[in-house]
Structure formats: structure tokens, C-alpha cells
Amino acid sequence: MHRLVVLGVLILTVSLALAGCGSSSDGGSTQASPGGGEAAAITLPDGWTMTDALTAEDVGAITGKTMEEFPEASSAAQDGKPAGGYTATGVDGSKIYFGVDVQGGEAGYESMLSYAEPDSTADVSGVGDQATVVRFSDGRAGIIARKGDAVIRVDWDPKVYTDEPSDFGARLANALLQKMYQ
């Protein structure tokens, strides 16, 4: 009888330990995936910064230019809102801005879209759960994308980066999303 009690306690202990392994308290930010399927999780630790996700070399591989990090005063990584910029060495107006709200959700996505010029938006496929290329009132082009609850914004000067905006934006946004969800 004593062995059965010990075996029961051991099974209960192992079960509780295994149940704790699925916790989101391991430093990753859990994001719900669309359709109620398996959850997608940001694999970067809580409080991650933009440079934890993307290097200047990552961005340069897309732009074809030598890029440098540009710190963003708006970054609030500790609050789940990292931001950062990258500039092409010696090129005026070349900053590419990246910003994320890891808990923005659909409301955050719609809020970011509200800053776009009227009639300047176009849906882009193959980027997160939904994405839209936009033009802002200052003339910058951008892409706003959502994957789970995470909302990202990337913007740039289309006079400096003359690639077709939806393609260029998709490559930039997907580079960030790939690093976020490795």
C-alpha cells in the first residue's frame, strides 16, 4: 500500500511539473494565432529591443546598402513596444523605422492604419495575419502588419528606397516577423 501512495504522489508531482512547462512565464510573449489553432509565440525574451531582433546587416541585406543602427527615443521595450531605426551610411533621409506593439491586436492595427493618407492603402498578402502598405501625410511609405496580437509598423522614404512599396515593405516586415517568431 505504501508503494502505491508513493507512486501516486510521484505521478502527481511529475504531472504538475509537466503542466508548468507550457507556461508563458518563461520569458516569451505568447500570441494567439488566428482561427483558434496552435498559439504562435514570440521567441524573443520579454523586454526585447529592436536590435535584439534585427541587425543593421539584416536590413542591409534587403536594402543593398550598408546600414547603421539609429536609436529611437520612442522605444519602450520594457512595455512591449520596441522601436528602432536603421540608416544607410552617408545617405540623407535614409532612415527605416521599425516599431512593434506586442499586445496591440486588431485595435492597434486599426489605430495605426488611421494615420495613413486616405485612399493610400493596399492590402499585402504573405505578411503575418494581415498587412497593408500605406502612405503617411509626411510622404513616407510604410507597411503595417499584424501577427496574432503583435502589430508592427515599418516606414521609409520612397525617394531613397525606390523599390515597389508593397514588395519592399513585405521584405522588411517579414524579416522582422521571422526574427520575432523563430
- Report pTM: 0.79
Give the whole-angstrom CA distance, residue 149 versus residue 41: 10
* Higher pLDDT among residues 1 and 131, named by residue: 131
Contact predicate 30/24, CB 8 Å: yes
Cross-strand pairs, 116: 136
Helix (H) or strand (E) holding 61: helix 56-63
Give the whole-angstrom CA distance, residue 47 versus residue 73: 16
User: pLDDT value at position 103?
Assistant: 96
Extents of the domains making up the chain: 2-41, 43-180
Helix (H) or strand (E) holding 87: strand 83-88
Give the whole-angstrom CA distance, residue 5 versus residue 158: 71
Contact predicate 143/154, CB 8 Å: yes
Q: What would the pLDDT profile of 35-68 be if each residue is shown by its tens digit?
A: 333 457 999 999 999 999 999 999 999 999 999 9
Q: Which triple of cell numbers denotes residue 138?
A: 509626411
pLDDT, the chain, mean? 84
Topology (CATH) of 43-180: Protein Transport Mog1p; Chain A (3.40.1000)
